[in-house]
Every structure is written in structure tokens, then in C-alpha cells.
DNA sequence: AAATTCTCCTGAAGGC
DNA sequence: TGCCTTCAGGAGAATT
């Protein structure tokens, strides 16, 4: 599923194929994603050149002179650059056609989104309320410490909240907490500044290294084979219920926290 | 304000 | 083989 590193990998993968090119056509096969795809873009986009392709959290932002297309991959979405005449398969809901090549959105579970705004994109409600980028300067242990005071939710929930920091999904939350030695159920408001400093570092490191080796995922993406994530092998605790902790050897535990499967070592994480 | 629950959807996996 | 049930999951919306 697309986590922040995979969205970034996607962005880097498709950018050279579409940036600077003019949209020739927009195809909406299934408008019912998380929100309806605005049909106006079939009329308003053709003829316009794609000027920028940025990422904010897990949102991809396609910049045009007269507005921005906001795209989210949800949990099963993928984007591919294909020859425009490639027959659409099941779940291929949306095409942005650039002459001979098209950008195709496939999303079996339809948790993704395609939206349009003619305002500055950072003012869009979905974007405006987002927390800092985990790889930016603003994201520090001190920030996490301050934001968590007088709150009681589990620290795992806290770091998965997009208002706290963007891009930390269920998998990387478990991994970062393991690397930081913090119990995911611990109330966020009682964690020290020193431990948050370590957590901010592990979040940054994990996401950065995931992006770093995103090339492999990118290739799969270009090969259009819907391959599973490269990182499955790198994961220390996620999905490893009952297996031994790579650090101390004791059994990894699975526990549902806020309706999400969470994995941790009861010995290494306090 | 903060926390919790609900919701969208489909494919995979498990039970019988 | 096949049908039915359960579950996973990103994140905004609704509710407490």
C-alpha cells in the first residue's frame, strides 16, 4: 500500500514523463472514489500544461496555471504512465492523457481521491490542516514534545495523526516506535523530550531510507505489475506476531491500538 | 478541545 | 469447489 515513501517514489517516477506536457484529454471511468471526481476537469484541463508535480504528505499535487489537481492513492491506488491506447483494466478509474502517453489511476478499493481546486493548493482544506513534513526542518523532537502535552492518546495514534505529522502510516509507526524503544500504547503526553528527540530521528531515518531505496519499487511501478512493497523484508516488527525480536529475541506482540494492528517488543519497548 | 467511532470499498484469507 | 464471513486499512466526518 502506498506509504509516504511510495507516494514520493511515484512522484519521482512519473514526473519526467508528464511535467511540461499539455493535457489532451481527461477520462473518468468511475467517478465514485472517496469523493466524486469533479467532472468539470474533463472540460477545464485539456490544453493546459502541467507546470509542477509536488507532494504534501501522501497527496500528489499537479500544478496548472489555473489551479491544481489533488490526488490521493488511498490504500490501494497506483499511478502508471502507459501508452494512451492501452486497454483499461478493471479498477482503472481515471486517465490524464498527455498525447501518446497517459497517466492512469488504478484503485481497487476506491479509497483514493481526485479533486480540483482553483485556489492556491496550500489553502485547500485537505492540505491546510496538515502537520509538518517528517523530513523537513520543522519536524523535531521538541515539536512532538510540545504538541503532545496534556494529551492522553497512545503515542502510536499521536504520530499517525496527520495533524501531528504527515506520512507516518500504520506500518512505519510500528517500525519507528520499535527503533526508538517506545511502547506504542504509552500515553503521548507523558513521554520525555529526550525520547521524542529519538522518535523524531527514527521516523525521519526510516522514511528517508525507504525513499532512498524506492528505486526498486519504482521499477515495479514502471513495469506495471503491482508488486508488493520492497520494504516488507526490511520490517523489524510489523506483521511479525510471535516471531522473535531482532534485537533481544523475545516474542513480538500484536495488539490492536485504535482499530489498527500494532506490533512491538514487550522487552525492548517501554 | 480531545477522543472515539463510523464510513467509504474490495480482495484475501479463513471457516465450513 | 464454493459460498459466506471477517478483516485490513487512510483519513475525513460524525459523534460523544
Q: Which residue is nearest to nucleotide B6 (CA to C1')?
A: A259
Please indicate, yes or no, whether residues A72 and A155 belong to a single structural domain of this protein: no
Per-residue confidence (pLDDT) for residue A85, from 0 to 100? 95
What is the domain count for chain A? 2
From CA A225, how far away is CA A176, in angstroms rounded?
Answer: 29
Residue at minimum CA to C1' distance from nucleotide C9: A75
pLDDT of A90 > 80? The answer is yes
Choosing from A5, A6, A8, A58, the catalytic residue is A58
Asked if A137 is an active-site residue, the reply is no
Q: Give dist(CA A252, CA A34) in Å, integer.
A: 35
A89/A157 same-domain check:
no
The answer for residues whose C-beta is within 8 angstroms of residue A86's C-beta and 6 or more apart is: A102, A104
A32 in the same domain as A115: yes
Residue A182: inside a domain: yes
The answer to whether residues A159 and A122 belong to one domain is no
Closest CA to A105 of A138, A132, A72, A134: A72
Q: Annotated catalytic residue: which of A25, A204, A253, A260?
A: A260
Average pLDDT of the residues in A202-221 = 69
Whether A32 maps to a domain, the answer reads yes
Active site residue A260: yes
Provide the pLDDT for residue A258: 87
| Residue of higher predicted confidence among A185 and A228 | A185
CATH code: domain of residue A218: 1.10.8.50
A58 has catalytic annotation: yes
Task: Identify the residue whose Cα has the smallest distance to the C1' of C11.
Answer: A162
CATH number of the structural domain spanning residue A18: 3.20.190.10
Whole-number pLDDT of residue A170: 87
Q: Which residues contact A100 (CB under 8 A, 6 or more apart)?
A: A83, A84
Statement: residue A192 has pLDDT above 70: yes
A130-156: per-residue pLDDT in tens? 999 999 999 999 999 999 999 999 999
Query: Does residue A121 sit in the same domain as residue A161?
Result: no
Task: Work out the average pLDDT over A172-194.
Answer: 94
Q: Which of A2, A5, A134, A184 is catalytic?
A: A2
Are residues A174 and A149 both part of a single domain? Answer: yes
Q: What is the distance in angstroms measured between the alpha-carbon CA of A246 and the sugar C1' of C1?
A: 41
User: Considering the entire predicted model, what is its pTM?
Assistant: 0.92
Residue A135 lies in a domain: no
Amino acid at each position: 500500500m502506498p506509504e509516504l515513501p511510495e507516494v514520493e517514489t511515484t512522484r519521482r517516477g512519473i514526473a519526467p514523463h508528464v511535467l511540461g506536457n499539455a493535457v489532451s484529454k481527461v477520462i473518468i471511468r468511475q467517478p465514485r472514489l472517496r469523493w466524486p471526481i469533479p467532472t468539470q476537469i474533463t472540460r477545464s484541463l485539456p490544453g493546459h500544461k502541467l507546470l509542477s508535480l509536488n507532494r504534501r504528505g501522501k497527496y500528489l499535487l499537479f500544478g496548472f496555471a489555473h489551479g491544481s489537481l489533488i490526488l490521493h492513492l488511498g490504500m490501494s491506488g497506483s499511478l502508471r504512465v502507459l501508452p494512451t491506447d492501452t486497454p483499461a483494466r478493471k479498477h482503472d478509474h481515471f486517465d490524464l492523457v498527455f498525447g501518446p502517453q497517459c497517466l492512469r489511476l488504478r484503485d481497487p478499493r476506491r479509497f483514493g481521491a481526485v479533486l480540483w481546486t482553483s485556489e492556491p493548493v496550500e489553502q485547500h482544506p485537505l492540505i491546510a490542516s496538515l502537520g509538518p513534513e517528517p523530513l523537513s526542518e520543522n519536524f523535531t523532537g521538541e515539536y512532538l514534545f510540545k504538541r503532545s502535552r496534556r494529551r492522553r492518546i497512545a503515542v502510536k495514534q499521536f504520530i499517525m495523526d496527520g495533524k501531528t505529522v504527515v506520512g507516518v502510516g500504520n506500518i512505519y509507526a510500528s517500525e519507528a516506535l520499535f527503533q526508538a524503544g517506545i511502547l506504542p500504547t504509552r500515553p503521548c503526553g507523558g513521554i520525555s523530550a529526550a525520547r521524542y528527540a529519538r522518535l523524531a530521528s527514527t521516523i525521519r531515518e526510516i522514511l528517508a531510507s525507504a525513499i532512498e531505496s524506492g528505486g526498486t519499487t519504482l521499477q515495479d511501478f514502471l513495469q506495471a505489475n503491482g508488486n508488493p512493497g520492497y520494504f516488507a523484508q526490511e520490517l523489524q516488527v510489523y506483521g511479525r506476531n510471535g516471531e522473535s525480536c531482532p534485537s533481544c529475541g523475545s516474542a513480538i506482540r500484536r495488539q490492536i491500538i485504535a482499530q489498527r494492528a500494532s506490533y512491538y517488543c514487550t522487552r525492548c519497548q517501554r
